Amino acid sequence: MEMIILICFLGFLSLLGGFVYILLLNPRPQLMDRMVKRAMLKRHLEIDDGMHVFLAGTGAPLPDLHRAGPCTCVIVNHKIYMVDTGESSTRNMQIAGLKLGKIDTVLLTHFHSDHIGGLGETMLMRWATGNNSSPLQVLGPLGSKKVVEGFLSAYQFDKQYRIAHHGESLMIPEAYGAETIEFDLGADPMASALIYDKDDLKITAFNVNHAPVFPAVGYRFEYKGRSVVISGDTCLCDNLIQQANGVDLLVSEALNKKFAESIRRNANLSSAPTLSSIASDIQNYHLSPEDAALVASKAQVKNLTLTHILPPIPNKLMINAFLGRSKKIYTGKIDLGRDGLLISLPINSTEIKKKYLLG
């Protein structure tokens, strides 16, 4: 009797397996359409008036499976202002439902490769998917024009392919590329300048200290009473504290020196000959989580979100070790940023809402 039940059960399993196999290999058109429709609908992100911060990439140069290269988007008036263009950040934006055609401006903090690696893709995909009539605007410190020209040169063939394939009515030639506006803050460590003032949005660029990298800047965004500062890459510096004074949200980079030191000690086990020196050198020109907490505390910011997570955190059990003593230094809310986090600052409110848009 048991044998008959077993044979029936195995027969049922193989029938079910065969059905699933056929369905996966040859999905019916209706099923395929339903899945595509669901994906298309998911790709419409509706957000209210206010200032919104989307973490498109919270990684840094060391490879991290779960983090794209550094990119923080500020969304105001349905326009996207991208601070840096780390690799794969536009992919995260698209998956989250942000339309690349809505990118108004790219703001560069400095020219380390992790911060500019996705610039070519950002320019091309905004053009190819956005139906805009004018090129992207890029704002950045001296040197930005050269960086943009290099990416445009690398992407010139793809531009031609797409025009030839889809036609000029869809791939509008005049809208391709970028108009770059450079600003020069000089070498004064406390320098800052208003670089954007339009439709109630003000953006201030300010010098930070990422020596020997120069220029290097952070950005302060203000919109209808709400404010956000994005640190860029820097060590602890007074200008960051001054610019972050009283803001609703500080998005700060974070490098855990103990983790970096562990990489330096064990670098001989890797096949990368330069890793030991790099792990040592990077420790003195980045903010640690404790440094970021100190800035947040001194500047009395309302919320602190860490990004540019360096080195990668091996697993969730190590999050507290990564944050170190930061929660003792700053008593406000600290979030360890992750790709896909949307932080919303509604107008006429002091509220800060958070929502995860990936996955």
Which residues of the shown chain bind Zn ion in the complex (CB under 5 A)? 112, 114, 233
User: Could you give the strand order of the β-sheet that contains 341-346, starting from the edge strand earlier in sequence?
Assistant: 178-183, 136-141, 103-107, 79-83, 71-76, 50-57, 341-346, 353-356
Residue with token string 């003032």: 197
Give the nearer residue to Zn ion in terms of CB position, either 222 or 233. Answer: 233
- Please state the closest distance from residue 115 (CB atom) to Zn ion, in A: 6
User: Could you give the strand order of the β-sheet that contains 249-255, starting from the edge strand earlier in sequence?
Assistant: 192-198, 201-207, 217-223, 226-230, 249-255, 303-310, 333-336
Give the nearer residue to Zn ion in terms of CB position, either 104 or 233. Answer: 233
Burial label for 138, CB within 10 Å (0-12, 13-18, 19+), is: buried
Q: Which amino acid is at 215?
A: P
Give the nearer residue to Zn ion in terms of CB position, either 222 or 253. Answer: 253
- Please state the closest distance from residue 339 (CB atom) to Zn ion, in A: 15
- Please state the closest distance from residue 283 (CB atom) to Zn ion, in A: 13
- Counted residue by residue, the chain has a size of 359
Give the nearer residue to Zn ion in terms of CB position, either 45 or 309. Answer: 309
Give the nearer residue to Zn ion in terms of CB position, either 233 or 339. Answer: 233
- Kindly write down the DSSP assignment for every residue of 308-351, as one continuous string: EEESPP-SGGGHHHHHTTHHHH--SEEEE--TTEEEEEETTS--
Give the nearer residue to Zn ion in terms of CB position, either 287 or 341. Answer: 287
- Please state the closest distance from residue 347 (CB atom) to Zn ion, in A: 32
Give the nearer residue to Zn ion in terms of CB position, either 114 or 222. Answer: 114
- Sorted by sequence, the CB contacts under 8 Å of residue 176 that are 6+ apart come out as 123, 127, 135, 159
The first and second tokens of residue 226, run together, are 């709400």
Do residues 332 and 293 touch, judged by C-beta distance below 8 A? no
- Please state the closest distance from residue 19 (CB atom) to Zn ion, in A: 50
